[in-house]
Amino acid sequence: MEYVSTRGSAPTLSFEDVTLAGLASDGGLYVPREWPRLTQDEIADLAGLGYVETCVRICAPFVKGSLTGDELRVLATEAYGSFAHAATVPVVQLDAQHWLMELFHGPTLAFKDVALQLLGRLFETFLANSERQLTIIGATSGDTGSAAIHALAGLERVDVFMMHPKGRISDVQRRQMTTMIAPNIHNLAIEGSFDDAQAHVKRMFGDPAMNRRFDLSAVNSINWARLMAQVVYYFYTAVRLGAPERKVAFSVPTGNFGDVFAGYVAAQMGLPIERLIVATNVNDILHRALSSGDYSVGTVTATAAPSMDIQVSSNFERLLFDMCGRDGPGLAAMMAGFEKEKRLSISDNMQAAATLFTSARIDPDEMSLALRWAQAEAGELIDPHTAIGLAAARQSDLPPHVPIVTLATAHPSKFRDAVERASGARPRLPNRLGGLMDREERCETIHGGYEAFADYVSAHARVRA
C-alpha cells in the first residue's frame, strides 16, 4: 500500500516509511492512497477468529509490501500477549441496547496500548534493518505517553521525549510514565496545556535545524500505524454482535479524533456501521464542527476526562481530506487559513460526506450520571472518559434494535479520584500494577516555551555517527 499526504505535496511513502515518519513534510498527515474493501463474505469469515488473527486479516492490505502476513502475526501475537484478558478486547453487555468494548486490558490500562504495543514492535522490526536512530517527540494528555513509554522503553534505536501538561494528568497516569526508568526515556513536564505541548511538537517537525540534526518521528495518533491497529477492534466487536448482517453503532469518547477515525476507516472498508457517535466533554470543538460546521478553537478547560481536554484534533484533518474529495492542495489552503484564523467553516457540501457521524457534548453532571447509571444498573464501574461515551450513547435517538457499543477507553482505576467523586466507590488498581505508587519517579520540568524544549532535546538525543 502507498500512502499520500492530506496536503498533497509530500512524497508518497510505503507502510514501513509511514510508520517511522511523523508529520508529512508538507505539514499534512499520511493516509492510504485508497481504502481497501472487504467483501461481506470476508467480513462474515471473521466470525470466531481470535484477536490476533482478526488483526492479521484487517491489517494485511495496509502493510502489504513491507510485512508478510506471517511476520505481522508474530508481532501481533507478542503485542496482544501483553494483555490481561484472554479476549484481548472483551465486550460486556450493560442492558438490552448498550454494550461496552473494554479496551483497557493492556499494560497501562488505556486503549492506547492496543495500538502502541503493536507499534513498538513495528519500530523494532523496521529499525533493525536500517541505520536510523529515531528521536520520538510527543505530547500527551496522559494516556499516549504512558502507553508509548511502555512500548518503547529500552529500545536501542529510539529516544523518546514525552511532554505532558504539568499538574493536569492523574497521579496514576504520571507515575506510569515517570517510573519507567530507561536511558532512552525522557519525561518532560511543561507549564501549559496539552495544546501548548502539541504546538511544540508541530513546530519541531517544521524546524529545519532540528530536522538536520535528528531523525524526528512521532507516536501520537498522527501516526498512521496506530490508527490501523485501532480499526481491528471495530471489526472484531461488530462481528461478535452480528455484523455484517446486523448493523452496529459505536459511541466514542473523543479527543484527538484518532479512535473514532479508525471507526470511519472500518466503515470505508465495508463494515456495516449504523452510526459513529463522537462524544466530547465541554471541550467541544468537534461537536460544534460536526453539528454546525463551526470548527473554531476555543480555550481548553481542564476536566475529569483529561485525555479529551483538547481543542485542536489533529486527526480531524484526515476526515476533512475525504470530506473535500481528497483534494490535497485545496485542503492545504484550508488548513493554512485555519492555522492563521483558528477557525474553519465546513460547508454543507463537505458535511454531506460525513453523515455517518453524529456528536454530543457531555457536561460534568451528565458524565457523573452515566457513571452512576452503569454502576447501579449494570454493576460496572467505568472511568470518566467511558462515561462521556456512554452518556452520548444513551442520549442518541437510535432505535432500540440497533446495538450501541461504547468504547471503554480507560480502566476506572486510572482515574480513581474522579471515579470516586462521581460514584463514591474507589476502584482498585489491578494487581499487575503492583508497586506503582511507591516507585521512584524521573521527570524534568521545562521552564519556558519552544526554545527550552528544543534545547533539552538537542542536549539529550543520541545521533548515529
Ligand X SMILES: *Cc1c(COP(=O)(O)O)cnc(C)c1O
Q: Considering beta carbons, is residue 19 or 251 the nearer one to ligand X? A: 251
Compute the least distance from the CB of residue 360 to ligand X, in Å: 14
Q: Which amino acid is at 19?
A: T
Give, in degrees to the nearest 5, the angle at Cα 330 between 328 and 332: 70
**Residue 50 CB: number of other CB atoms within 10 A?**
15
Sheet holding 444-446, edge to edge: 215-217, 134-139, 158-165, 185-190, 444-446
> Under 8 Å CB-to-CB from 399, ≥6 apart: which residues?
none
Q: What letters, b where the CB count within 10 A reaches 16 and e where it falls short, cover 195-209?
A: bbbbbbbbebbebee
φ/ψ of 313, rounded to 5, equals: -95, 100
385 binds ligand X per the rule CB under 6 A? yes
Q: Considering beta carbons, is residue 127 or 391 the nearer one to ligand X? A: 391
Stretch that binds ligand X, among 13-21, 63-71, 254-262, 370-378 (CB under 6 A): 254-262
Q: Considering beta carbons, is residue 214 or 234 the nearer one to ligand X? A: 234
Compute the least distance from the CB of residue 147 to ligand X, in Å: 8
**Among residues 113, 143, 309, 366, the one that binds ligand X under rule CB under 6 A:** 143
Q: Which amino acid is at 253?
A: P
Stretch that binds ligand X, among 17-25, 83-91, 182-190, 256-264 (CB under 6 A): 256-264
> Under 8 Å CB-to-CB from 365, ≥6 apart: which residues?
none
390 binds ligand X per the rule CB under 6 A? no
101 binds ligand X per the rule CB under 6 A? no
255 binds ligand X per the rule CB under 6 A? yes
Cell numbers 460547508 correspond to 347
User: Which 397-416 positions form the footprint of ligand X (CB under 6 A)?
Assistant: 409-410
102 binds ligand X per the rule CB under 6 A? no
In this structure, are residues 163 and 453 in contact, taking their beta carbons and an 8 Å threshold? yes
**Residue 259 CB: number of other CB atoms within 10 A?**
28
259 binds ligand X per the rule CB under 6 A? yes
Instruction: Give catalytic status of residue 112 as yes or no.
Output: yes
- Binding letters toward ligand X, positions 197-236, x by CB under 6 A: ------------------------x---------------
308 binds ligand X per the rule CB under 6 A? yes
What is the DSSP secondary structure assignment for residue 23, as one 8-state letter? S
C-alpha closest to that of 452 among 203, 168, 91? 203
User: Which 268-297 positions form the footprint of ligand X (CB under 6 A)?
Assistant: none
Would you mind telling me the total number of residues written for the chain in this entry? 465
Compute the least distance from the CB of residue 315 to ligand X, in Å: 7
Compute the least distance from the CB of residue 288 to ligand X, in Å: 16
Q: Using CB under 6 A as the criterion, which residues of the chain lie in contact with ligand X when the complex forms?
A: 110, 112, 143, 221, 253-259, 307-308, 385, 409-410
* Residues known to be catalytic: 112
